[in-house]
Structure 1
Amino acid sequence: MNPAPPGADRPAFRLRGVSLGYGDRVVVGPLDLDIPAGCATAIIGANGSGKTTLMRGLTRQLPLLTGTLEVLGEASATWGARRYARTVSLLPQSPVVPDGLTVEQLVERGRHPHRSWFGARGAGDEVVVASALERTDLVELAGRDVAELSGGQRQRVWLALVLAQETPIVLLDEPTSYLDLPHQVELLDLVRALPDPTAGEGAAGGATAVGGARRATTVSVLHELNMAARAADHVIAMARGQVVAAGSPTEVLVPDVLAEVFDLEADVIPDPLLGHPVVLPRARGERASGG
């Protein structure tokens, strides 16, 4: 079990004895796991390792088969749907775009959990939506039909919707899909620096700061290991529905863990500029560097 890093009052998510699956088939668990608050966490693992199933459990799309899930120190079972949507947002792996919506209209849907039952749009909503469009470089596309956009542009629209939802916890399942390398870097840098919108409300969470403001908790499923190393404070490596390792990128992205999780032979060296690990895969049978 991985402890929360120094400065975190309590984890964003605490799982104890949690199993998840479909029908009678257990896919993930049982797990004991803490996901730290105020940090950028990356979940890595081969296809079929249980990453997306775990994310669905964290968003309560899948009920727990066993165990307990706490969110910011409270049992998730006590949370109503509206409160949960104000606290935890999700960028899913393959979201379906409703017909006939413009970019701005889709992003505006992120404001629904914050509105009264009458659903009236307020001036505050307009400011938040405009900011989300600007931060994802979508201002010029605001009036376009989402169905007309490229895959990468659509991915940025969905991210803007999540930003408009203004939650202290943001989950992203393969957020860099369809994005070229510059936009992958921009998106992950943006995600890493997201502020916690509840920081002034006395909400529980970590104290990690960006520009003096407490950071949001972000949890991203990522396939590109070097992107995970660059963008994450905390990494969870999964295989066969279990957590193999959890900790800092330097602790998790090591040859033994990569061999167990991905059946990958690799060298790992520090980035000469930023210091994070860099994974260098080797061909089968190739000798390790220096060996």
Structure 2
Amino acid sequence: MPQTRLYVTASRDEANRIYAALEFAFEEEGYPLAVVELDEDRDIHEVSLYTEDDADLVAQRMREAAGGIAIEREVLPDVDWVARSLEGLKPVRAGRFFVHGSHDRDKRRIGDLAIEIEAGLAFGTGHHGTTSGCLDMIDQVVRRERPRNALDLGTGSAVLAIALAKLAHIPVLATDIDPIATRVALENVRLNSVSAYVEAATAPGFHHPIFARRAPFDLIVANILARPLMRLAPEMARYVMPGGSLILSGILERQRDAVIAAYVGQAFRHVRTLGREGWVTLHLKR
């Protein structure tokens, strides 16, 4: 069945609002979403959703979720939506990190911790507010705490695991429930020459034996979604060592207090919240 791209153009602030509304509305379906800047001077951005389901039904749900917006569509037979969604994305700076594609290698500066991420069947390019927020928080926490053993839970493209390895030069376990994401993560780990530090594995939950073998961790990074993070709080408490830290994201601003409460109930304390584009990244300590 051909794929359909449903999209809307808007200002940056409105595009971010629409993106957040759609991500929440379609959380269970997991439809790919992307925000692309079309014209910086005129503040024109485009939010796209990709689906192989009934496009009329999905477009109607988009309108309802985002407040009656007009939806346009484009049929994309045999198109790699991930590669398409990443076309034209500019490199991202977050803390000391510089996340870029191969076409922007010439923009690297002396002192950058450069991370090269290409289009693949897993998300995490640094452009979303949750990923860039995590990169900023990693930069701050690693400098202060100097962790020795880290976990990137729900690694996706492995951008956060690569960041940890390049910054701290420590062992990092990068796991995902999706074997395709794990394959992409391994490719990016090799591309960024951190295979000596990062081990990527497909693991559907903390019951997988790799966690017992590699734990305890003094830093766990998880850029997932608020509800799964809340469910994982007891297991996070078991696998992070006393005095260790969590960096959690994928959390909307309105979900912040509920996530913090779930972790305070497991004897974590909230250290800092970093907000970005309607999302928050939390630093918690055991």
Structure 2 length-normalised TM? 0.28
Which is strand-richer, 1 or 2? 2
Structure 1 length-normalised TM? 0.28
